[in-house]
Amino acid sequence: MTEVVHGILQKTSCMKNLSTLFFLVIVNICWAQTPARKDEIVIAEGLSVIKLTDNIYQHISDLQTIDFGKVKCNGLIYINGDDAIICDTPTNDKLSSDLITWLKTNHPQVKIKAVIINHFHADCLGGLKTFHETGIPSYSHERTKALLESKGETSNMPQNFFSTSLEISVGNKKIINYYPGEAHTRDNIFTWIPAEKTIFGGCMVKSMDAGKGNLADANVEAWPGTIGKIKSICPSARIVIPGHGDAGGQELLDYTIALFK
């Protein structure tokens, strides 16, 4: 009789363990599918957008890396009137196609006038081929071209280049792309949208409490001075979007300067 009771208890315990395991699996699935933020719009697996203002979206795409695991990478969409520009592509061609489709579906009157490439790394231009196939012209700093050629990575080569600054009209407003100097890479630029008081800084700007990240192509000594130039050019900035992590304000520039001093 004792053996029978013991067997029943073992089965009951096993069933409880299976139930607990099943519950944890379901919780993990639901957690994985839940956006990191309430205001995050999921477009596809590995791609989402956050509306920051009436005219500005932050796009976020996943990149699998060897050193840092899966990394969420930021870009920007600016819409004014019937025009739009995009800063940085999502991290691959499929996600870039998804983003373009989402934008055309939700803003059918809008023409994507340009894609601006922040620097030569894959988290900025991994989906550039899709933009070119869609007839969207691309722009980057002239050093981006040289760096991609030196590494033999020309399949995602931007089409147009500038040296110091580049203005692009978006509807009746202008955006200005600046080269402030070396930091995360030798070619990194930033995009200033005066009408929105918004900076897209890319990977040379760090989110609050972030680490130094990938320094393989960095000029760490020049980094604080380069960010200081951004502050002097854009003293009225209210929104600052880093290459990874949450957007913020001028405090992201100050944090980045302090991090690399």
Q: Which of 121, 141, 188, 234 is catalytic?
A: 121
Model confidence band, residue 158 (pLDDT cutoffs 50, 70, 90): very high
Percent of the chain with pLDDT over 90: 83
Q: Which of 59, 113, 141, 184 is catalytic?
A: 184
Residues 6+ apart with CB under 8 A from 31: none
Residue 251 burial (C-beta neighbours within 10 Å; 0-12, 13-18, 19+): exposed
Nearest to 153 by CA among 109, 117, 105: 117
pLDDT at 13: 44
Beta bridge partners of 57: 51, 77
Mean pLDDT of 220-225: 98
pLDDT tens-digit map of 182-197:
999 999 999 999 999 9
Q: Is 132 a catalytic residue?
A: no
Q: At residue 28, does pLDDT exceed 80?
A: no
Among the ranges given (52-61, 63-72, 220-229), the one the predictor scored with the smallest mean pLDDT: 63-72
- Collapsed DSSP state (helix, strand, coil) of residue 127: coil
Q: At residue 261, does pLDDT exceed 60?
A: yes
pLDDT at 17: 44
Average pLDDT of the chain to the nearest whole number: 89
Q: Is 141 a catalytic residue?
A: no
pLDDT at 104: 97
Q: Is 123 a catalytic residue?
A: yes
Q: Which of 113, 141, 145, 244 is catalytic?
A: 244
Q: Is 156 a catalytic residue?
A: no
CATH number of 41-260: 3.60.15.10
pLDDT tens-digit map of 90-135:
999 999 999 999 999 999 999 999 999 999 999 999 999 999 999 9
CA 174 to chain centre: 22
Query: Domain extents for the chain?
Result: 1-34, 41-260
Mean pLDDT of 70-78: 97
Q: Which of 59, 113, 145, 206 is catalytic?
A: 206
pLDDT at 37: 67
Q: At residue 24, does pLDDT exceed 90?
A: no
- State both tokens at 239: 């929104």
pLDDT at 67: 85
Which amino acid is it at 209?
A: D
Q: At residue 35, does pLDDT exceed 60?
A: no
Q: Which of 156, 188, 214, 234 is catalytic?
A: 214
Cα–Cα distance list, 65 to 22, 70, 164, 236 (Å): 30, 6, 31, 35
Q: Count Cα atoms within 13 angstroms, Cβ side, for 230.
A: 40
Helix (H) or strand (E) holding 60: strand 56-65
Residue 246: φ, ψ to 5°: -75, 145
Q: Which of 113, 119, 141, 145 is catalytic?
A: 119
Q: Is 231 a catalytic residue?
A: no
pLDDT at 68: 84
CA 243 to chain centre: 5
pLDDT at 167: 98
Mean pLDDT of 192-213: 98
Q: Which of 123, 156, 187, 234 is catalytic?
A: 123
Cα–Cα distance list, 11 to 22, 24, 43, 130 (Å): 16, 20, 44, 56
Q: Is 214 a catalytic residue?
A: yes
Report d(CA 200, CA 213) in Å as an integer.
18
Report d(CA 228, CA 235) in Å as an integer.
10
Model confidence band, residue 71 (pLDDT cutoffs 50, 70, 90): very high
pLDDT at 19: 40
pLDDT at 231: 98
Cα–Cα distance list, 198 to 115, 221, 261 (Å): 17, 26, 25
Q: At residue 40, does pLDDT exceed 70?
A: yes
- Collapsed DSSP state (helix, strand, coil) of residue 175: strand
Q: At residue 25, does pLDDT exceed 90?
A: no
The residue to which tokens 């990977």 are assigned? 203
Nearest to 107 by CA among 127, 124, 84: 84
Q: At residue 54, does pLDDT exceed 80?
A: yes
Report d(CA 152, CA 94) in Å as an integer.
23
- In the DSSP assignment, the letter for residue 200 is E
